[in-house]
């Protein structure tokens, strides 16, 4: 902005006036450059609020893998001791897989040149064979769980630890009641470590395999970054008292001839070139821990405030009366270790003071009227990061129908997304490997299965059906489903799965049986009335 001095210079010394104008323009340009873009907001280094923020970010291996062991331990600790953390993981388990995702074969019968009827018969045959293996504990390498229970364990492992790991093995045992030899061995990601790793806390990011490949936290990759093999330890590195020496087994990621996976690795990648997963609770570990400490403190304060304790002052130092209050049956007392200076609070407890002594008890003002509001606010904060509304975290639906339904709809966006991820990374690969064995043994007829990848894909198509979202108002939601079907916006199959998680074809078959029974009963009743 020009001023009186500029006008004087312009009249007396034009050269000086010109230099002042040029300097003013340069200064304006410099300010515009330094204050451009995010420099005025998130990237500012001049604002007082940003000066103490020394943010640093490196490769996924430096940011994640080095800290993975600590994150995993803290996540497990919260799952075992913090109710809100337990709820977050189990709510996902219950809604993503529930009692287990159910196979629905999807055969591309048009490409295979089959009729619809032939495809239906093949689907029924596949489901019968699948049940032999999936509903048996022999599908589990440890013979403890069937396939649906293995899903639950794998999902919880993924959420709690960051990775869900399963090894696909073939048993050498042949049994008449189990025609399939495929076995699933679930392992915790603690055992996925680099060979010769001395402790669980030390992670070597530059370890080289004998073939020249790089090994990152138990995962071997080639020069292009492709996963080649997994290194599995026989022990937990944290078990320092193990009786066996630590040893590692190299398992190739895929079979060289079949291309089938040998290792199932389920994790949610957040960054490019990330090879290990992060625990689901990682973003809120500190917040949940602090909230748990606060909750524990409030509970203890309320317990202390609820105790009735009497303090008796003695004037002449006489003997104490024998009666010492009402004791808790669960509490054990050791009179041999009484301490005159040890005053206690308890249920109906009486303490005797020495002559001249007095007691002052601070008023804790418990219960705290602000406790519920504070916890609810933090629960919303935590739920937003985990994509779980507070209504589901706390299992408390006290708002209106619209608000509660909105919370459920928002939560189910995340549940469905994780269900698709889990089905694609766990269920489908295992199903395709099982299908290959079934075809190779001649138990399922699939001409051309091993000759053409397109034919194999056409046979191995599948959908995995899980628990439905549930209904807050069944009448409204069923009427809405009927309206969608009548207007061509949905199908009977989709609505059956959404409303109660059933299969439409199975419903139709069952209805045929039930309607026939009702019809037979009606005929008998009419016949009896006539007689």
Counting the structural domains of the chain, the total is 3
Mean pLDDT of 114-118: 93
- Same structural domain, 65 and 211: yes
Q: Are residues 194 and 202 in contact, defined by beta-carbon separation less than 8 angstroms? A: no
- Same structural domain, 12 and 119: no
Q: Is 216 inside any structural domain?
A: yes
- Same structural domain, 145 and 209: yes
- Same structural domain, 204 and 121: yes
Rounded Cα–Cα distance for residues 435 and 452 (Å):
15
Mean pLDDT of 374-396: 93
pLDDT band at 427 (very low <50, low <70, confident <90, very high): very high
Q: What angle do CA 110, 114, 119 make, to 5 degrees?
A: 100
- Same structural domain, 185 and 238: yes
Bridge partners of residue 54, in order along the sequence: none
Rounded Cα–Cα distance for residues 284 and 197 (Å):
29
Q: What is the pLDDT of residue 324?
A: 47
Mean pLDDT of 54-73: 88
Higher pLDDT, 430 or 319: 430
341: exposed, middle or buried (Cβ count in 10 Å: 0-12, 13-18, 19+): exposed
Q: What is the pLDDT of residue 133?
A: 97
Quick one: tokens of 505?
A: 């074809």
Higher pLDDT, 52 or 268: 268
Spatial CB neighbours of 55, under 8 Å, sequence gap ≥ 6: none
Rg from Cα positions in the chain? 34
* Average pLDDT taken over every residue of the chain: 85
Q: Is 263 inside any structural domain?
A: yes
Residue 336 has pLDDT above 50, yes or no: no
Q: Are residues 386 and 380 in contact, defined by beta-carbon separation less than 8 angstroms? A: no
Q: What angle do CA 425, 386, 383 make, to 5 degrees?
A: 150
Quick one: tokens of 438?
A: 């079934």
Which of 25-34, 90-99, 191-200, 300-309 has the lowest average pLDDT? Answer: 25-34
Q: What is the pLDDT of residue 214?
A: 93
Higher pLDDT, 504 or 529: 504
Q: What is the pLDDT of residue 449?
A: 95
Residue 51 has pLDDT above 50, yes or no: yes
Nearest Cα residue to 392 out of 74, 90, 5: 90
Rounded Cα–Cα distance for residues 21 and 331 (Å):
88
Residue 138 has pLDDT above 80, yes or no: yes
Residues of the domain holding 23? 4-34
Q: Is 333 inside any structural domain?
A: no
530: exposed, middle or buried (Cβ count in 10 Å: 0-12, 13-18, 19+): exposed
Rounded Cα–Cα distance for residues 374 and 379 (Å):
9
Highest-confidence segment of 170-174, 228-232, 243-247, 361-365: 228-232
- Same structural domain, 13 and 124: no
Q: What is the pLDDT of residue 39?
A: 73
Q: What is the pLDDT of residue 44?
A: 78
Q: Which residue has the tokens 């990152």?
A: 216
Spatial CB neighbours of 161, under 8 Å, sequence gap ≥ 6: 72, 75, 76, 188, 189, 190, 277, 279
Rounded Cα–Cα distance for residues 372 and 422 (Å):
35
Give me the DSSP letters along 454-493: HHHHHHH-EEEE------SSHHHHHHHHHHHHHTTSS-HH
C-alpha dist (Å) from residue 364 to 268, 298, 301, 351, 469:
46, 10, 7, 20, 44
Q: Are residues 97 and 422 in contact, defined by beta-carbon separation less than 8 angstroms? A: yes
Mean pLDDT of 277-300: 94
Q: Is 373 inside any structural domain?
A: no
| 157-200 pLDDT per residue, tens | 999 999 999 999 999 888 888 999 999 999 999 999 988 776 66
Rounded Cα–Cα distance for residues 485 and 440 (Å):
42
- Same structural domain, 141 and 185: yes
Q: Is 443 inside any structural domain?
A: no
Mean pLDDT of 224-228: 95
Residue 81 has pLDDT above 90, yes or no: yes
Rounded Cα–Cα distance for residues 221 and 143 (Å):
32
Cα–chain-centroid distance for residue 286? 17
- Same structural domain, 126 and 215: yes
């Amino acid at each position: 902005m020009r001023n009186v001095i500029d006008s004087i210079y312009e009249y007396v010394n034009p050269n000086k006036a010109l230099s002042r104008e040029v300097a003013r323009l340069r200064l304006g340009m410099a300010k515009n450059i330094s204050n451009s873009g995010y420099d005025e907001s998130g990237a500012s280094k001049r604002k007082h609020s940003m000066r103490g923020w020394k943010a640093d970010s490196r490769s996924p291996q430096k940011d994640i893998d080095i800290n993975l062991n600590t994150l995993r331990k803290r996540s497990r600790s919260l799952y075992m001791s913090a109710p809100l953390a337990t709820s977050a993981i189990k709510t996902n388990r219950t809604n993503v897989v529930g009692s287990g995702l159910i196979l629905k074969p999807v055969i591309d019968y048009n490409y295979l040149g089959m009729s619809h009827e032939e495809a239906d018969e093949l689907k029924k045959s596949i489901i019968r064979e699948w049940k032999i293996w999936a509903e048996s504990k022999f599908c589990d390498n440890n013979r403890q769980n069937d396939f649906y229970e293995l899903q639950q364990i794998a999902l919880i492992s993924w959420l709690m630890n960051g990775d869900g790991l399963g090894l696909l093995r073939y048993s050498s045992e042949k049994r008449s009641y189990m025609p399939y030899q495929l076995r699933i061995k679930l392992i915790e990601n603690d055992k996925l470590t680099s060979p010769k790793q001395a402790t669980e806390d030390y992670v070597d990011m530059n370890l080289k395999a004998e073939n020249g490949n790089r090994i990152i936290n138990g995962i071997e990759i080639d020069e292009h970054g492709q996963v080649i093999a997994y290194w599995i330890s026989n022990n937990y590195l944290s078990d320092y008292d193990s009786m066996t020496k630590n040893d590692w087994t190299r398992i190739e990621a895929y079979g060289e001839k079949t291309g089938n996976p040998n290792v199932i690795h389920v994790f949610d990648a957040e960054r490019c070139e990330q090879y290990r997963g992060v625990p689901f609770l990682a973003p809120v570990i500190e917040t949940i821990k602090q909230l748990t400490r606060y909750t524990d403190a409030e509970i203890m304060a309320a317990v202390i405030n609820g105790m009735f304790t009497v303090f008796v002052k003695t004037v002449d130092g006489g003997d104490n009366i024998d009666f010492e209050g009402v004791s808790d049956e669960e509490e054990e007392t050791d009179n041999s270790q009484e301490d005159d200076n040890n005053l206690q609070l308890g249920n109906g407890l009486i303490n005797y003071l020495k002559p001249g002594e007095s007691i002052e008890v601070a008023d804790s003002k418990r219960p705290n009227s602000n406790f519920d509001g504070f916890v609810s606010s933090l629960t919303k904060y935590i739920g937003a990061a985990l994509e779980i509304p507070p209504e589901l975290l706390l299992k408390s639906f006290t708002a209106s129908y619209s608000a509660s339904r909105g919370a459920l709809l928002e939560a189910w966006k995340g549940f469905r997304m994780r269900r698709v991820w889990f089905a694609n990374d766990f269920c489908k690969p295992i199903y395709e490997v099982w299908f290959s064995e079934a075809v190779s043994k001649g138990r399922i007829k699939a001409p051309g299965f091993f000759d053409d990848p397109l034919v194999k894909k056409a046979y191995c198509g599948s959908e995995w059906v899980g628990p439905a979202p549930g209904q807050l108002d069944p009448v409204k939601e069923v009427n809405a489903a009927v309206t969608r079907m009548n207007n061509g916006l949905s199908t009977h199959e989709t609505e059956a799965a959404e409303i109660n998680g059933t299969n439409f074809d199975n419903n139709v078959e069952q209805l045929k049986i039930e309607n026939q029974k009702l019809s037979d009963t009606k005929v008998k009743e009419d016949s009896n009335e006539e007689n």
